[in-house]
Chains A and B, each alone.
Chain A
Amino acid sequence: DAKTTQPNSMESNEEEPVHLPCNHSTISGTDYIHWYRQLPSQGPEYVIHGLTSNVNNRMASLAIAEDRKSSTLILHRATLRDAAVYYCISYGPYGSTGNQFYFGTGTSLTVIP
Chain B
Amino acid sequence: QKEVEQDPGPLSVPEGAIVSLNCTYSNSAFQYFMWYRQYSRKGPELLMYTYSSGNKEDGRFTAQVDKSSKYISLFIRDSQPSDSATYLCAMSAGGYQKVTFGTGTKLQVIP
The answer to whether A and B belong to the same complex is no
Interface residues of A (CB under 8 A from B): none
Interface residues of B (CB under 8 A from A): none
